[in-house]
C-alpha cells in the first residue's frame, strides 16, 4: 500500500537522522577523523617543509632518519600518536624519554628544528604529533625504504605518560608472544609486526642490550662466527651505558631499510633476543622466510604496518592542543 505524504516525510526524516547521527556524535565528542592533506588550506606547504627539513638533516646527520622511525614507534605505542614522547619532565611528571625503554634514543633537538621551520610559515597550526608521523614517513625514504601516503590531523597531548611506557613498549628480551599481543592491542597484525621489526635492519644496538646473549656463555641460537664478531664489539659483559659501545643491526647494509634483516635471522645472526625468536615461532617464521625472499613484499608490509601504527588512537578535532614548542604544553 503506498505511503501517504505524512508517512513518507516521517520515513525520510528517520533516514536522515540515521545517516547524520554518526556525524552529530562526532561533532558532539569533539573528535574527527584523520585525513589526507589535512593542512591543504591552513598550511599548504606543511608536508613539503617537513620533508625539506628531514632531507637537510639527513645530509648532515644520517642517523636522524633512524631516530624519526623510532620516535613514531615509541610515541604511538604509548596510548596514542600524540607527541607525548617529546614532553620534558616538568613539575615531577617524568618524561617518557626518561624511561629505560627509551635508552639510546637521540636527536630530539632536531624535532625542534623541524617544528621551528613549520612555525615560521604557519604558527600554531601543525601539530608535533603530525611532525613525528611525517618525519618518520620521510625518514623511511631516506633509508631506502618505500614511499607511502599518510593521513594527518593529529593533535598534541597535554600530558606525559611516563608511567605507562614499561607496560606499552615491548622490551628486547620479551617473548615474541608478548610482543605480538602488544602490537595486536593497537591493531597491528602478525604480518605487520614482523614487518615493523624489520626496522632493526637499520641503526645500531648498544652492548648493554645484547651482552646477555654472549656472556657468560654464547646463546646457542647465534652463529659462532657472528658471536665472535659481537664479542669484539662488546668485549666486556658489563659495558658502560654511557660509552659508545654498540653493534650494527646489519653489517652489510647498516643504513638501508631492506630485507637483509630477515636473511640475517635465517643465518642465525639476529642481534636481539626478540629478533631471533621470529624464526622459531610458528606464527612469525613463515613471514620471515617470505620477507627474506622478497624485498618488495617486505616494503609493502612495512609501509602498511607503519600507517596502522601511525593511526593508533590519535587525538583529533578539539582534543588536546597544537603545541608551540614540542617539549612543553602550552601555557594558558
List residues forming the annotated binding site for Ca(2+): 75, 78, 82, 84, 96, 250, 253, 258
Residue 328 pairs in a beta bridge with 325
Give the span between the Cα atoms of 48 and 207, in whole angstroms: 38
Burial class for 4, CB neighbours closer than 10 Å (0-12, 13-18, 19+): exposed
Phi/psi at 204 (5° precision): -150, 165
Name the residue with cell 602490537.
Answer: 183
Give the span between the Cα atoms of 312 and 79, in whole angstroms: 8
Give the span between the Cα atoms of 142 and 255, in whole angstroms: 9
Binding-site residues for substrate, in ranges, read 170
**Catalytic residue (choose from 61, 74, 212, 299):** 74
Residue 247 pairs in a beta bridge with 205
> Which residue, 230, 223, 224, 227, is CA-closest to 207?
230
Q: Which helix (H) or strand (E) segment is 285 a member of?
A: helix 285-293
C-alpha grid cell for residue 314? 590519535
Please tell me the number of Cα atoms within 13 Å of 73 on its side-chain side.
Answer: 23
List CB contacts of 103: < 8 A, sequence separation 6 or more: 206, 208, 209, 241
Q: Catalytic residue at 74?
A: yes
Q: Which helix (H) or strand (E) segment is 18 a member of?
A: helix 5-29
List CB contacts of 197: < 8 A, sequence separation 6 or more: 179, 261, 274, 275, 278
What is the DSSP code string of 101-135? GGTT---HHHHHHHHHHHHHHSTTTS-HHHHHHHH
Binding-site residues for heme b, in ranges, read 200
C-alpha grid cell for residue 176? 615474541
C-alpha grid cell for residue 196? 615493523
Q: Annotated active-site positions, please?
A: 74
Amino acid at each position: 500500500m503506498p505511503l501517504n505524504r505524512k508517512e513518507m516525510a516521517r520515513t525520510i526524516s528517520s533516514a536522515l537522522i540515521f545517516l547524520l547521527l554518526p556525524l552529530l556524535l562526532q561533532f558532539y565528542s569533539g573528535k574527527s577523523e584523520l585525513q589526507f592533506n589535512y593542512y591543504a588550506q591552513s598550511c599548504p606547504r606543511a608536508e613539503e617543509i617537513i620533508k625539506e627539513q628531514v632531507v637537510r638533516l639527513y645530509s648532515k646527520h644520517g642517523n636522524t632518519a633512524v631516530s624519526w622511525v623510532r620516535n613514531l614507534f615509541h610515541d604511538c605505542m604509548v596510548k596514542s600518536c600524540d607527541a607525548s614522547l617529546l614532553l620534558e619532565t616538568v613539575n615531577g611528571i617524568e618524561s617518557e624519554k626518561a624511561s629505560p625503554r627509551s635508552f639510546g634514543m637521540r636527536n630530539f633537538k632536531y624535532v625542534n628544528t623541524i617544528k621551528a621551520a613549520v612555525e615560521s610559515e604557519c604558527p600554531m597550526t601543525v601539530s608535533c604529533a603530525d611532525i613525528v608521523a611525517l618525519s618518520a614517513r620521510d625518514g623511511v625514504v631516506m633509508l631506502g625504504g618505500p614511499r607511502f601516503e599518510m593521513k594527518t590531523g593529529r593533535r598534541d597531548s597535554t600530558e606525559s605518560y611516563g608511567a605507562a611506557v614499561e607496560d606499552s613498549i615491548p622490551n628486547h628480551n620479551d617473548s615474541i608472544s608478548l610482543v605480538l599481543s602488544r602490537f595486536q592491542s593497537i591493531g597491528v597484525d602478525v604480518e605487520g609486526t614482523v614487518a615493523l621489526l624489520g626496522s632493526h635492519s637499520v641503526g645500531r644496538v648498544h652492548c648493554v642490550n645484547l651482552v646477555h646473549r654472549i656472556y657468560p656463555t654464547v646463546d646457542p641460537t647465534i652463529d659462532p662466527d657472528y658471536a665472535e664478531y659481537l664479542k669484539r664489539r662488546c668485549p666486556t659483559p658489563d659495558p658502560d651505558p654511557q660509552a659508545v659501545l654498540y653493534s650494527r643491526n646489519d653489517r652489510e647494509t647498516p643504513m638501508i631499510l631492506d630485507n637483509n634483516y630477515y636473511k640475517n635471522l635465517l643465518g642465525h645472526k639476529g642481534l636481539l633476543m626478540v629478533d631471533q625468536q621470529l624464526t622459531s615461532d610458528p606464527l612469525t617464521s613463515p613471514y620471515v622466510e617470505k620477507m627474506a625472499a622478497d624485498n618488495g613484499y617486505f616494503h609493502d608490509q612495512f609501509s602498511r604496518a607503519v600507517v596502522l601504527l601511525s593511526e593508533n588512537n590519535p587525538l583529533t578535532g578539539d582534543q588536546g592542543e597544537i603545541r608551540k614548542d614540542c617539549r612543553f604544553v602550552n601555557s594558558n
